[in-house]
């Protein structure tokens, strides 16, 4: 039992070390399969030394800008769209 716990902790640490966090830049279009929406990163803002982005939600009837932190984008699993059509995005 003790060795199984050590192996589990070791695998957890290795998975955290090997996981790559996405890099977000101004001008990117992002899509989340979990939230099922697309965002456009408009501006980079630093608040209390934490990187935030002003984003606009694509396809929203109202044009309002939101501010999301980089960690919020990572938690919602937003990934950059690269040369994908809207029909591919929705699938």
Q: Encode pLDDT of 74-90 as tens digits.
A: 888 888 887 655 545 44
4 in a domain, yes or no?
no
How many structural domains are present in the chain? Answer: 1
9 in a domain, yes or no?
no
Q: Check: pTM over 0.95? Answer yes or no.
A: no
CA nearest to 28, candidates 81, 70, 84? 81
42 in a domain, yes or no?
yes
57's tokens: 């939600």
16 in a domain, yes or no?
no
Q: What is the CATH number of the domain that holds 43?
A: 2.30.30
Query: Max CA-CA distance within the chain?
Result: 56
**Which range (1-5, 14-18, 21-25, 53-57) has the least confidence?**
14-18
SS3 assignment, position 60:
coil
pLDDT higher at 55 or 23: 55
User: What number is the average pLDDT over the span 48-56?
Assistant: 90
Q: Are 58 and 38 in contact (CB under 8 A)?
A: yes
Radius of gyration (Cα) for the chain, nearest Å?
A: 17
Q: Domain span at residue 56? A: 26-90
SS3 assignment, position 46:
strand
54 in a domain, yes or no?
yes
Tell me: the pLDDT tens digits for 15-49?
766 667 778 888 889 998 888 888 889 999 998 98
19 in a domain, yes or no?
no
């Amino acid at each position: 039992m003790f060795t199984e716990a050590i192996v589990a902790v070791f695998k957890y640490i290795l998975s955290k070390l090997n996981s790559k966090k996405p890099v977000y830049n101004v001008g990117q279009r992002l899509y989340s399969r979990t939230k099922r929406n697309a965002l456009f990163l408009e501006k980079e803002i630093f608040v209390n030394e934490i990187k935030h982005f002003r984003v606009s939600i694509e396809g929203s009837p109202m044009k309002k800008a939101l501010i999301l932190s980089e960690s919020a984008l990572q938690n919602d699993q937003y990934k950059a769209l690269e040369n994908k059509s809207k029909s591919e995005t929705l699938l």
